[in-house]
Structure 1
């Protein structure tokens, strides 16, 4: 049974953003401050990464825990209403994420995925991972 009225539920669901979330803005500012230049939500890259560094073929995704199924095997039984819908939806998102990762990796991209809470709690650690990926990509380019 849903605790919210249909109008309240509708308002909550409409408030969910697919891009430009607070966590993405925070991550983008930290990435920019580190000297990294990027593009956001580039439509011509498969999977439309949240952040993209085309020069080094690095795609960065910041995934929401609910929508992308963090600890899904444990949490899939937490839904109290519309269980079939949410199970299909989130499992489809997980499969799509795998498909996007495989496609980009097979086309020479480095794929970095961070959970929203991971970015929120340790932004600097996430930025260091990105900077390391850039460093590795630069090293690969000099070896070619």
Structure 2
């Protein structure tokens, strides 16, 4: 049984955004401060990626742990009510993510997923982004030593 009235639940769900979320804004500010430039939510690309780096052929998705089912994350709990509905919804989200990533990789993009819970540790996130994107002063794909 839901503890909230249907009207209150509806109001709560209406406030959930798909763009400009707090974790996405953390990543965007960090990436910009590091000197990288990007495009937002490119509609022509599968999944409308959060950040697109065209010259680097790189994409970053910032996924919410709950909505995209971050494996072994404490934030990826299933609601206790309407479990069949939520399991199906979350399964479709994960399947759609997998398909979109495969399509992007077929187009030659490198894809990185940053989970909401990973935006808390900025030093680790900075290292990960620089490793993924390469030197911000040299456009193009990073050269990773073999």
Same-fold call, TM cutoff 0.5? yes
TM range (shorter): 0.7 to 0.9
Q: Write the distance in 1 (CA, Å) between the matches of 2:109 and 2:17.
A: 26
Counterpart position of 1:84: 84
Q: What secondary structure sits across from 1:52 in the alignment?
A: strand
What TM-score comes out, normalization by structure 1 length?
Answer: 0.86
Q: Write the distance in 2 (CA, Å) between the matches of 1:104 and 1:31.
A: 21
List runs of 5+ in structure 1 lacking aligned partners: none
Return the offset for 1:117. Answer: 1.2
Query: How many residues end up aligned between the 2 structures?
Result: 138
1:86-131 C-alpha deviation (Å, 9 max, x unpaired)? 1111000001111111111122111000111111x11332232222
What TM-score comes out, normalization by structure 2 length?
Answer: 0.85
Q: What secondary structure sits across from 1:35 in the alignment?
A: coil
Q: Write the distance in 1 (CA, Å) between the matches of 2:125 and 2:104.
A: 20
After alignment, is 122-131 or 90-99 more displaced?
122-131
After alignment, is 13-22 or 38-47 more displaced?
38-47
Return the offset for 1:75. Answer: 8.7
Structure 1 pair 101–42 and aligned structure 2 pair: CA distance change class (3 A)? same
List runs of 5+ in structure 2 lacking aligned partners: 135-139
Counterpart position of 1:110: 110
Query: Given the alignment of the two structures, is residue 19 of structure 1 paired with residue 19 of structure 2, yes or no?
Result: yes
The alignment yields a C-alpha RMSD, in angstroms, of 2.2
After superposition, residues 1-144 of structure 1 pair within 5 angstroms as 1-71=1-71, 78-119=78-119, 121-135=120-134, 137-139=141-143
Q: What secondary structure sits across from 1:67 in the alignment?
A: helix
Return the offset for 1:59. Answer: 0.8
Q: Write the distance in 1 (CA, Å) between the matches of 2:66 and 2:54.
A: 28
